[in-house]
Amino acid sequence: MGLLERLRKEWFILGIVLVIAVARLEPGVGVKGGPLKPEITITYIAVSAIFFNSGLSLKTEELTSALMHVKLHLFVQIFTLVFFPTAIWVFLQLLSITPINEWLLKGLQTVGCMPPPVSSAVILTKAVGGNEAAAIFNSAFGSFLGIVITPLLLLLFLGSSSSVPFTSIFSQLFMTVVVPLIIGQIVRRYIKDWLERKKPPFGAISSCVLLMIIYTTFCDTFANPNIDLDKFSLIIIVFIIFSVQMSFMFLTFLFSTRNNSTFTPADTVAIVFCSTHKSLTLGPVGCREVAKLV
């Protein structure tokens, strides 16, 4: 395989490196309130585009079939909203005796209490040929569950509670996830033959949108002048996150591919990405909980 062909094949990984580098050089462009207005273009337009794209590309039968896959949904939701935060809590009890910055540990617990991701799990599942319909359902359903469950988890593990703007978050999720998906399905009925004949690059389109999300996320990170963390804690926490992510992905893969499992390889892909990734849809709620403890 030539270098050019290799680069073309791995364009998404290279794109991640590139957008992070660009965000580091000029974070003001993609920061909230900046020229790109990510609070609108990303929060609403980009996420809506992802699910409209999925609505166009998926057959209605695939969505209906995914809806009835109860065993898969139970696995994903129990793992991400019960096992994940509990395992993180147990692990952090051991790390609490180390010199790692305690607020980084509390932040890790906060992330562990978040619901499944709204968009990234869908895009990654689609990119590797997984069960996209199942990923869509679990991303949406998990996000709606998180409105109620995440504050309870934060209360349980961090000892602090906060009011959640239920109506605001619910309406945002409904308008950016459910409505675009339905519209995509309606449009698909009228251009179905054209879609099957032309086969638009739905996966590449969604991946580009995800790169935009990654870019604006890192712009916010690099634009924050108040980050004052010792390098030891930062390096260790990055290593911990990577280790936890890999361990949980391996664990979900192991459970979903055991001999008596009824999951298909496509189901396994959706399970791995939906169970082990976390959304920041309720991130502000978690940040308030940590702030209360300071």
Digits of tens for pLDDT over the chain (294 positions)?
577 787 788 888 899 999 999 998 988 899 888 899 998 998 899 989 999 999 999 988 989 988 899 999 999 999 999 999 999 999 999 988 888 888 888 889 888 988 888 788 898 898 888 999 999 999 999 988 988 898 889 889 988 655 667 788 888 889 999 999 999 999 999 998 999 888 888 888 888 998 998 899 889 888 876 666 667 777 888 899 899 999 999 999 999 998 888 899 999 999 999 999 887 655 444 444 444 444
Torsion of CA 39, 41, 42, 44, to 10 degrees: 80
Domain count, the chain: 1
- How many Cβ atoms from other residues are within 10 Å of residue 86's Cβ? 14
By the 8 A CB rule, do 159 and 243 touch? no
Q: How far apart are CA 209 and CA 223, in angstroms?
A: 21
Residue 154 belongs to what domain range? 3-293
By the 8 A CB rule, do 134 and 265 touch? no
Question: What backbone torsions phi and psi does residue 96 show, to the nearest 5 degrees?
Answer: -65, -20
Residue 94 sits in a domain of what CATH number? Answer: 1.20.1530.20
Q: How far apart are CA 135 and CA 271, in angstroms?
A: 8
* Predicted TM-score (pTM) of this structure: 0.85
